[in-house]
């Protein structure tokens, strides 16, 4: 009896060891697999800052009309009358009275100056500007932009631009033998404009922050509001529509609006992209999303080629006859109809499988565009089809 009891104790200890080993292995596997599972799940999440913008916090476009001077006889011609008039007006403001008819503008070119005014731009901030010719100047290389006022859509001046132009190309040659690389009638001036008017938005006046989704989607808007409410533990956010999520600043309890924006923008949310296929008929390009699916469909594709050729033959009269030489066209028509080929796709097939099948039967990119349109018309494409 004692020997049997000792055997049972040994076997019990072995079982407990095995159980401990198995539990340790399970815990180790869970600790190793958990980050992988989290990483796989995180792959479907993006930060709110990457998919939204705040209503009222935006860029503004600036535009101005001015002159580029100092060109090496590559400016506007004398027939570009508005360049002559602009130069005469500029000189008049400097106290030089001249008649526009006697101004020679070969070293001057009229240009349009554009820039982007970023949000919270204060006076003194530097902006990059783009300078483009609006006359018949051959080149703006080597020119300097004359002081130009940049205005917004409301007509107010927000910046002043001036400085030498920089180009990514050149145009050299003479007597009709000219080599041109890239564009020489459009240049840039890095930090060529200075902001003169304060356009910053006072965030302290915001009682409600409206986050606007770049791609409208009701599900993403709802999930975004849920993520914000879960982070604050309060019902501070609500989805207004498929693009807008409002956040009440007083409900969040935060006194600093910039801190509130930074906290919200660093939250991660699941993004639900719509199933969509975009085709370009001009180039035959097809771009599709990964969630695009097809209903069961069969595609039959044949190729009919008709070739029409016209050959000119010369008919000459017999010697001594009263006839004359004539050119008679002879037309030959050849039709080739290749056997129709078909592919069949089952339930759940995606567009990638369809494209591969169409390439296998010899369909061209333009054929694929037409076939996709036909499948969409038949109700077999479970996605939006956009033709550009």
Residue 26 is predicted with a pLDDT of 38
Q: What is the distance between the alpha carbons of residues 112 and 64, in angstroms, rounded to a whole number? A: 6
For residues 358 and 368, the answer to whether their CB atoms sit within 8 Å is yes
pLDDT of residue 81: 83
Tell me the Ramachandran region of residue 120: left when phi exceeds 0, alpha when psi lies from -120 to 50, beta otherwise.
left
- Which residues in 227-255 are b (16+ Cβ under 10 Å) and which e? bbbeebeeebbebeeebbbebebeebebe
The pLDDT assigned to 1 comes to 46
Q: What is the pLDDT of residue 354?
A: 73
Check residue 31 and give its pLDDT: 40
Each of the 388 residues of the chain gets a pLDDT tens digit; together they read: 444 444 444 455 554 554 444 344 333 344 444 343 333 333 468 999 999 999 989 999 999 999 999 998 888 887 788 888 888 888 888 888 877 667 777 899 999 999 999 999 999 999 999 999 998 898 899 899 999 999 999 999 999 999 999 987 555 555 555 555 567 899 999 999 999 999 888 888 899 999 999 988 899 999 999 999 999 999 999 999 999 999 999 999 999 999 999 999 999 998 877 778 888 777 767 777 666 777 776 667 665 444 555 566 666 666 666 666 666 666 565 655 566 666 666 666 776 777 777 777 777 777 777 777 887 887 777 778 887 7
What pLDDT, on the 0 to 100 scale, is given for residue 191?
Answer: 94
pLDDT at 43: 45
In this prediction, residue 33 carries a pLDDT of 43
Give me the pLDDT at residue 218, please.
92
User: Which of 194, 45, 188 lies closest to 117 in space, CA to CA?
Assistant: 194
Instruction: Give the integer Cα–Cα distance in Å for 49 and 266.
Output: 7
């Amino acid at each position: 009896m004692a020997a049997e009891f000792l055997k049972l104790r040994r076997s019990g200890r072995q079982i407990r060891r095995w159980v401990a080993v198995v539990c340790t292995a399970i815990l180790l596997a869970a600790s190793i697999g958990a980050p992988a599972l989290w990483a796989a799940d995180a792959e479907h999440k993006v930060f709110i800052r990457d998919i939204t913008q705040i209503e009222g916090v935006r860029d503004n476009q600036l535009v101005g009309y001015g002159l580029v001077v100092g060109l090496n006889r590559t400016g506007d011609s004398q027939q570009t009358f508005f360049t002559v008039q602009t130069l005469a007006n500029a000189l008049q403001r400097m106290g030089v009275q001249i008649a526009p008819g006697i101004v020679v503008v070969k070293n001057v070119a009229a240009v349009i100056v554009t820039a982007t005014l970023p949000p919270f731009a204060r006076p003194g901030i530097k902006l990059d500007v783009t300078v483009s010719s609006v006359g018949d100047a051959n080149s703006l290389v080597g020119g300097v932009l004359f002081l130009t006022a940049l205005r917004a859509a409301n007509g107010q001046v927000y910046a002043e631009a001036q400085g030498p132009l920089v180009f990514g190309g050149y145009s050299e040659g003479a007597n009709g033998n000219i080599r041109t690389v890239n564009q020489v009638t459009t240049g840039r001036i890095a930090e060529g404009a200075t902001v003169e008017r304060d356009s910053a938005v006072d965030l302290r006046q915001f009682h409600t922050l409206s986050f606007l989704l770049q791609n409208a989607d009701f599900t993403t808007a709802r999930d975004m509001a849920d993520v914000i409410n879960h982070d604050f533990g309060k019902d501070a956010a609500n989805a207004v529509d498929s693009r807008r999520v409002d956040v009440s600043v007083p409900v969040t309890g935060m006194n600093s609006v910039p801190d509130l924006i930074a906290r919200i923008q660093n939250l991660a949310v699941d993004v639900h992209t719509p199933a969509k296929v975009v085709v370009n008929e001009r180039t035959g390009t097809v771009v599709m999303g990964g969630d695009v699916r097809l209903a069961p469909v069969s595609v039959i594709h044949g190729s009919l080629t008709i070739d029409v050729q016209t050959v000119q033959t010369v008919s000459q009269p017999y010697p001594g006859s009263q006839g004359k030489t004539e050119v008679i066209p002879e037309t030959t028509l050849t039709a080739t109809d290749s056997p129709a080929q078909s592919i069949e796709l089952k339930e759940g097939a995606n567009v990638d499988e369809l494209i591969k099948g169409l390439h296998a039967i010899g369909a061209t990119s333009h054929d694929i565009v037409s076939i996709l349109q036909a499948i969409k018309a038949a109700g077999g494409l479970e996605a939006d089809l956009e033709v550009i």
